[in-house]
């Protein structure tokens, strides 16, 4: 961490002013925002009253000279300004926000972008609204009464924003109740709400509000309408890649519980028939005997299923085993499923317990449940002692209810 301007207070070990008298920590995640930093700090200095104490923390993933600009501009600010540069941008801009929240010392945390599409003049009102209403989370909303998304450039971005909002609210109707703009990146939240659930946060991309609302479950929510402004300078971070990361993040949030993961596990398994059957048709058309063709084609389905399951259902557990290790274990279990299913069907049918069709259905259900449990335990979930040694949350601590 690089201290740009410590202000009047001394810095604690986390690099933020000590003393606890500040009104709020303003966290600003940045990626190549050198063109916007001076104007942003100038506007914050103009609108934050001197009788209240604020601190500003930039969490920076830039490849340009943004950190240097922060250090130069901070000297003219009446409040402490700190810059934390990350060499590895884990979790994208959302990950940067979480890192900043862990370092924040104030009771309130305000999150905003650096591009001035979020008006700095609203920072104080967000905190004041939280204190006045007793809310744990105050969202600056483009869709609350009096708000506007006029700063979005073009009909395409407006449609994407609206569509993302509708998708998120339909997937999480309870967690997002009272939040009209879950895609907003401008909000204030009590530090105690974040710190009580910090271990279960799994940020990805730049939609941190959705992560906090679903996993931290603030008890009460308030909204303040605002007009989304045009970008002051630099380039937008909204890309197709970020859109894909958003969809992956939605899936991870929706499948946080074991029951939801099992359902998604089954649906992904069904899609595996497509590459399996396509490979089988190709191999037999090339003249391969159907028995070895079946075995080889099954591996295409296994690989397809592994890629989707690894990406969508267990993304937060990748650090526990290497990619090759996970794939090998998954393939072994998937092929063992076939070895177990056929004898089970033979036992049920040969023993006169069931006809072929119900025996096959029961065998499929039984092996599916066993494969899901085995996948979670043997591929993605090491023994609890190893988690403790690495400082990772255990299985019980990872389970949350969206």
> Rounded to whole angstroms, how far apart are CA atoms 230 and 207?
19
What's the gap between Cα 244 and its chain centre? 12
Last residue of one domain, picked from the residues 239, 266, 292: 239
Beta pairing, strands 108-111 & 81-85: unpaired
What is the predicted pLDDT for the residue at 88?
A: 85
Report long-range pairs for 7-11 (Cβ below 8 Å, ≥24 apart). Answer: 7/55, 7/77, 7/78, 7/79, 7/80, 7/81, 8/80, 9/80, 11/82
Question: Binning pLDDT at 50, 70 and 90, where does residue 110 land?
Answer: very high
pTM for the whole structure? 0.69
Please tell me whether residues 60 and 139 are part of one structural domain.
yes
Residue 342 domain flag: yes
Domain count of the fold of the chain: 2
Residue 253 domain flag: no
Q: Largest Cα–Cα distance in the chain?
A: 86
Please tell me whether residues 219 and 271 are part of one structural domain.
no
Please tell me whether residues 38 and 159 are part of one structural domain.
yes
159 or 127: which leads in pLDDT: 127
Q: What percent of the chain has pLDDT over 70?
A: 84
Please tell me whether residues 175 and 32 are part of one structural domain.
yes
What is the predicted pLDDT for the residue at 240?
A: 66
Residue 119 domain flag: yes
135 or 368: which leads in pLDDT: 135
Question: Nearest to residue 224, comparing CAs of 132, 152, 122?
Answer: 122
Last residue of one domain, picked from the residues 239, 270, 300: 239
DSSP state of 178: T
What is the predicted pLDDT for the residue at 129?
A: 94
Please tell me whether residues 296 and 390 are part of one structural domain.
yes
Mean pLDDT for 230-250 is: 69
Please tell me whether residues 115 and 177 are part of one structural domain.
yes
Please tell me whether residues 313 and 365 are part of one structural domain.
yes
- Per DSSP, the three-state class of 24 is strand
What's the gap between Cα 223 and its chain centre? 22
Please tell me whether residues 55 and 176 are part of one structural domain.
yes
Pair of tokens at residue 82 = 């700190």
Q: Cα separations (Å) of 16 from 9, 19, 161, 357, 369?
A: 9, 10, 34, 66, 49
Please tell me whether residues 211 and 353 are part of one structural domain.
no
Question: Hunting for tokens 């998708």 — which residue is that?
Answer: 167
Please tell me whether residues 23 and 151 are part of one structural domain.
yes
Domain that holds residue 134: 2-239
Mean pLDDT for 285-301 is: 83
Residue 365 domain flag: yes
Question: Hunting for tokens 């591929």 — which residue is that?
Answer: 379
Residue 47 domain flag: yes
* Average pLDDT taken over every residue of the chain: 80
Please tell me whether residues 80 and 130 are part of one structural domain.
yes
| CATH number, position 159 | 3.90.550.10
The model's pLDDT over 347-367, given as tens digits with 9 standing for 90+, comes to 877 776 777 777 777 777 787
Last residue of one domain, picked from the residues 212, 239, 266: 239
What is the predicted pLDDT for the residue at 220?
A: 93
What is the predicted pLDDT for the residue at 298?
A: 81
Please tell me whether residues 341 and 193 are part of one structural domain.
no
Residue 245 domain flag: no
Q: Are 301 and 335 in contact (CB under 8 A)?
A: no
The model's pLDDT over 62-72, given as tens digits with 9 standing for 90+, comes to 888 888 999 98
Mean pLDDT for 41-61 is: 87
């Amino acid at each position: 961490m690089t201290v740009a301007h410590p202000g009047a207070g001394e810095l604690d070990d986390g690099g933020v002013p000590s003393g606890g008298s500040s009104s709020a920590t303003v966290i600003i995640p940045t990626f190549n925002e050198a063109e916007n930093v001076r104007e942003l700090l100038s506007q914050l200095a103009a609108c934050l009253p001197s009788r209240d104490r604020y601190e500003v923390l930039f969490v920076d993933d830039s490849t340009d000279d943004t950190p240097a600009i922060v250090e130069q501009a901070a000297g003219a600010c009446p409040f402490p300004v700190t810059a934390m540069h990350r060499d590895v941008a884990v979790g994208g801009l959302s990950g940067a926000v979480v890192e900043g929240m862990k370092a924040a010392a104030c009771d309130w945390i305000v999150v905003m972008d650096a591009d001035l599409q979020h008006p700095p003049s609203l920072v104080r009102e967000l905190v004041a609204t939280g204190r006045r209403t007793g809310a744990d989370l105050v969202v600056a909303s483009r869709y609350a009464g009096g708000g506007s998304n006029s700063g979005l450039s073009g009909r395409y971005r407006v449609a994407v924003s609206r569509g993302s909002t509708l998708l998120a609210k339909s997937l999480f109707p309870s967690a997002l109740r009272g939040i009209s703009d879950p895609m907003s990146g401008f909000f204030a939240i009590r530090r105690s709400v974040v710190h009580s659930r910090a271990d279960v946060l799994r940020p990805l991309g730049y939609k941190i509000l959705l992560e906090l609302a679903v996993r931290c479950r603030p008890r009460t929510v308030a909204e303040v309408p605002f007009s989304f402004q045009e970008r002051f300078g630099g380039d937008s971070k909204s890309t197709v890649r970020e859109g894909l990361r958003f969809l992956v993040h939605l899936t991870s949030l929706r499948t946080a519980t074991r029951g939801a993961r099992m359902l998604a596990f089954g649906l992904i398994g069904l899609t595996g028939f497509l590459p399996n059957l396509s490979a089988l048709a190709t191999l037999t058309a090339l003249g391969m005997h159907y028995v070895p063709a079946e075995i080889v084609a099954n591996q295409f389905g296994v690989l397809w299923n592994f890629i989707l399951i690894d990406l969508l259902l267990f993304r937060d557990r990748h650090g526990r085993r290497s990619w090759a290790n996970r794939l090998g274990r998954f393939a072994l279990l998937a092929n063992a499923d076939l070895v177990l299913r056929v004898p089970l069907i033979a036992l049920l049918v040969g023993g006169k317990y069931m006809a072929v069709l119900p025996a096959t259905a029961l065998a499929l259900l039984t092996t599916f449940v066993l494969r899901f449990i085995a996948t979670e335990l043997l591929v993605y979930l090491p023994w609890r002692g190893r988690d403790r040694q690495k400082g990772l949350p255990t299985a019980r601590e990872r389970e949350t209810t969206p």
